[in-house]
Amino acid sequence: MHRLAKILGIITTMLICTMIAGESKAQSRNDTIPVRFVLSGTDTIPSITLQIYEVYAQLPRRLRKERERWTRLRNAVYVTYPYAVAASRILKDVNAHLQTLPNKKARKEYLQSKEKELRAAFGNKLENLSVYQGKVLMKLIHRETGENCYEIVKELKGGFNARVFQTVAFFFGGNLKSEFDPKDDHDIELIVQEIRLYNYYN
Show the 3-state SS of 91-111.
HHHHHHHHCCCCCHHHHHHHH
* 49, part of any domain: no
- Decide if 112 is inside a domain: yes
Instruction: Flag whether 42 is in a domain.
Output: no
Domain region containing 162: 67-197
Domain assignment present for 78: yes
Judged by DSSP in three states, 84 sits in: helix
Is residue 142 included in any domain, yes or no?
Answer: yes
Give the global pTM: 0.65
Confidence (pLDDT) at 2: 52
Q: What residue type is assigned to position 141 of the chain?
A: I
Handedness of CA 76, 82, 155, 118 (dihedral sign): negative
SS3 state at 36: strand
First to last CA, the chain: 93
Residue 29 domain flag: no
Q: Measure the CA–CA gap between 117 and 66, rounded to whole angstroms.
A: 40
Count: domains in the chain: 1
Backbone angles phi, psi at 124, to 5 degrees: -65, -40
Residue 188 is predicted with a pLDDT of: 94
Its sign, for the CA torsion 96, 102, 106, 108, is positive
Cα–Cα distance measured from residue 12 to residue 200, given in angstroms and rounded to the nearest whole number: 71
Beta bridge partners of 47: 36
pLDDT by 10s per residue, the chain, length 202: 555 555 555 555 555 555 555 555 555 455 566 777 788 888 888 877 778 877 777 878 888 899 999 999 999 999 999 899 988 888 888 888 888 888 888 888 888 888 788 877 777 777 888 889 989 999 999 999 888 888 888 877 788 877 887 787 777 778 888 899 989 999 999 999 999 887 654 5
**Which residue from 164, 199, 195 is spatially nearest to 73, judged by alpha carbons?**
195
Element (H, E) at 62: helix 61-98
Residue 79 counted as domain residue? yes
Q: What DSSP character marks residue 45?
A: E
How far apart are the C-alpha atoms of 87 and 90, rounded to whole Å? 5
Residue 54 placed within a domain: no
Rounded to the nearest 10 degrees, how much is the dihedral formed by the CA atoms of 186, 192, 197, 198? Answer: 140
Q: Which residues have C-beta within 8 Å of that of residue 171, sequence separation ≥ 6?
A: none
